[in-house]
């Protein structure tokens, strides 16, 4: 197989890594760190647009980009979630060394992403104005938001392909390759932002076209790289068709995982309607808050995605002892790291928010969101550990249910029930904190049940027969 050893784990010459042996702590760290860096780079990627527009186009500019970004996020986050389902399916085949099925599943995953991207692009271009109207986009920001949205929709195909390809690489234990390509894309995006908006003064259109160019470069690069991994499972036009049973298994894992991410985005869309009632400064403040929050949100989310691949490979190899130890390590890591990062960000909150805007009202709203939410963010990190564990064990339905109940439903009901009596942004901030706890109450017992089922699969089969 032409394998080398990295911290006891077996690594292919093309970068893929089997993680069913060696030090759990070191292997998980080596595997997860590039994913964490990738998500931080993604945040830099997003901040480039936000900072340039916030400085050059003002509060309404931030509001326009924020509303348009929520619509794009529903589409993109579905496939970020879907890619975690792909990671779960692909990692188990890789851990079991079933390279024939693995090759077919990689090809099917990429084709599904490309086809869905084309369909969603056409729908978005046709219904974009309806989406913005439904979100109560301010009249002053409507024109800019629609322009930004329509240009960025043209980048859905490469974004969806990138996310699914990224999920495949995670499943194969290769997290460094996507990191390198994303870094190159982020540098390209920032350079084009400064050129199109700062130098040539193209405004929103310039920022959107800069993002679009970097997205297509990234998507094509990932396809090129997938065609150059180990020849036994690389992407190629001659890849066999995925059997119907395996395709169904892929969709069974991917669609609930995608719906989980979509429900989270949907909850943001629904709560956006409540935020709109507080005016453009509150909207812009939440956009800035989201950019800073990303320095905790993305690492926690990334760690959960990495954990899915690690657990999936070990499940495929029958190493359940390593699954449980990985969960113990991950819980400790998630809580400690989040508490440290949230403390640092709170201490540096004023200059961080001031980096995005000089508007006093926007500054006040952004700071309030940080001080309300960051002390409780370790609960979200724990959520991601249990979600990663469940998906690695092949259970994507419960994470979808938890997102629906805790985020899409609970947050909206909370705001609808309290805002008529206490019309304050604190109601919206607290909705996020309490929903993290509600989600944990669903995820923790579900993980314990899924792990017991993995240990005693015959008991699960008897229960289904009964």
**What is the 3 state secondary structure string of 356-374?**
HCCCHHHHHHHHHHHHHHH
**How many distinct structural domains can be found in the chain?**
1
Distance, in Å, from the CA atom of 323 to the CA atom of 318, rounded to the nearest integer, reads 10
351, part of any domain: yes
Residue 87 CA to residue 90 CA, distance in Å, equals 5
Question: Is 211 within a domain?
Answer: yes
In a domain, 105, yes or no: yes
**Residue 261, domain extent:** 22-460
Q: How many contiguous H segments (helices) and E segments (strands) does the chain have?
A: 16, 3
Taking CA atoms, 419 is separated from 215, 269, 427, in Å, by 39, 17, 7
d(CA 402, CA 100): 35
Q: b/e per residue, 239-257, with b = 16+ CB within 10 A?
A: beebeeebbebbbebbbbb
Q: Would 3 be classed as within a structural domain? A: no
Non-local CB neighbours of 16 within 8 Å, separated by 6+ positions: 94, 172, 173, 174, 229, 230
- Reduced to 3 states (helix: H, G, I; strand: E, B; else coil), residue 173 is coil
Q: Is residue 372 included in any domain, yes or no?
A: yes
Q: Is the pLDDT of residue 267 over 60?
A: yes
12 inside domain: no
Is the pLDDT reported for residue 265 higher than 90? no
SS3 233: coil
What pLDDT score was predicted for residue 423?
Answer: 84
Query: Confidence band (pLDDT; 50, 70, 90) for 464?
Result: very low
What would the mean pLDDT of 192-202 be, rounded to a whole number? 80
Report how far apart the first and last C-alpha atoms of the chain are (Å, whole number).
Answer: 44
Q: What angle do CA 350, 356, 361 make, to 5 degrees?
A: 65
Helix (H) or strand (E) holding 10: strand 9-12
Q: Does a structural domain hold residue 138?
A: yes
Whether residue 463 is predicted with pLDDT greater than 50 in this model: the reply is no
CB within 8 Å of 276: residues ≥ 6 apart: 135, 136, 138, 283
Which residues lie below 8 Å from residue 148, measured CB to CB, with a gap of 6+? Answer: 64, 65, 68, 204, 205, 207, 208
What band does 465 get if pLDDT is binned at 50, 70 and 90? very low
Instruction: Give whole-number Cα distances, 178 to 93, 153, 154, 403, in Å.
Output: 21, 22, 22, 27
Least confident of 55-69, 210-224, 260-274: 55-69
Question: CB-based contacts of 111: which residues, under 8 Å, 6+ apart?
Answer: none
Beta strands across the sheet bearing 3-6: 3-6, 9-12, 17-18
pLDDT band per the 50, 70, 90 thresholds, residue 373: very high
- The pLDDT value recorded for residue 447 is 95
Q: Is residue 31 part of a domain?
A: yes
For residues 55 and 212, give the distance between their C-alpha atoms in angstroms, rounded to a whole number.
Answer: 21
Q: Look at 59-63, 116-120, 301-305, 331-335 and tell me which has the smallest mean pLDDT.
A: 59-63
More confident residue, 46 or 449: 449
């Amino acid at each position: 197989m032409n394998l080398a050893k990295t911290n006891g784990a077996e690594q292919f010459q093309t970068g893929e890594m089997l993680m069913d042996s060696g030090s759990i702590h070191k292997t998980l760290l080596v595997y997860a760190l590039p994913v964490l860096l990738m998500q931080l780079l993604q945040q830099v990627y997003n901040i480039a647009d936000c900072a340039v527009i916030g400085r050059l186009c003002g509060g309404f500019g931030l509001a326009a980009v924020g509303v348009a970004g929520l619509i794009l996020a529903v589409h993109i986050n579905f496939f970020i979630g879907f890619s975690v389902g792909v990671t779960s399916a692909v990692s188990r085949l890789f851990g079991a060394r079933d390279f024939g099925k693995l090759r077919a599943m990689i090809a099917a995953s990429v084709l599904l992403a490309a086809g869905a991207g084309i369909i969603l692009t056409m729908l978005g271009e046709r219904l974009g104005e309806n989406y913005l109207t439904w979100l109560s986009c301010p009249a002053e920001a409507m024109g800019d938001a629609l322009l930004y949205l329509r240009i960025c929709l043209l980048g859905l195909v490469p974004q969806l392909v990138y996310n699914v390809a990224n999920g495949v690489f995670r499943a194969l234990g290769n997290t460094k390759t996507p990191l390198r390509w994303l870094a190159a894309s982020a540098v390209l995006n920032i350079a084009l932002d400064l050129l199109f908006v700062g130098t040539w003064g193209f405004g929103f259109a310039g920022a959107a076209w800069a993002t679009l160019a970097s997205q297509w470069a990234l998507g094509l690069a990932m396809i090129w790289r997938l065609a150059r991994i180990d020849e036994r499972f690389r992407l190629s036009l001659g890849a066999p068709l995925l059997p119907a049973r395996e395709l169904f298994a892929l969709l069974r894992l991917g669609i609930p995982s995608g719906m989980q991410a979509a429900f989270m985005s949907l909850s943001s869309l629904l709560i956006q309607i409540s935020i709109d009632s507080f005016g453009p400064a509150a909207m812009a403040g939440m956009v800035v808050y989201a950019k800073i929050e990303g320095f905790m949100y993305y690492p926690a989310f990334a760690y959960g995605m990495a954990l899915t691949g690690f657990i999936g490979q070990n499940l495929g190899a029958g190493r359940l002892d390593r699954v449980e130890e990985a969960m113990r390590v991950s819980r400790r890591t998630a809580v400690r790291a989040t508490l440290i990062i949230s403390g640092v960000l709170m201490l540096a909150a004023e200059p961080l928010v001031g980096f995005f805007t000089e508007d006093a009202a926007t500054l006040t709203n952004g700071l309030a969101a940080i001080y309300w939410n960051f002390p409780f963010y370790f609960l979200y990190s724990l959520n991601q550990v249990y979600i990663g564990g469940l998906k690695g064990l092949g259970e994507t339905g419960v994470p979808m249910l938890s997102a629906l109940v805790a985020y899409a439903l609970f947050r909206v009901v909370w705001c609808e029930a309290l805002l008529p009596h206490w019309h304050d942004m604190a109601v919206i901030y607290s909705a996020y904190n309490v929903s993290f706890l509600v989600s944990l109450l669903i995820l923790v017992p579900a993980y314990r049940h899924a792990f017991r089922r993995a240990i005693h699969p015959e008991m699960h089969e008897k229960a289904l027969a009964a």
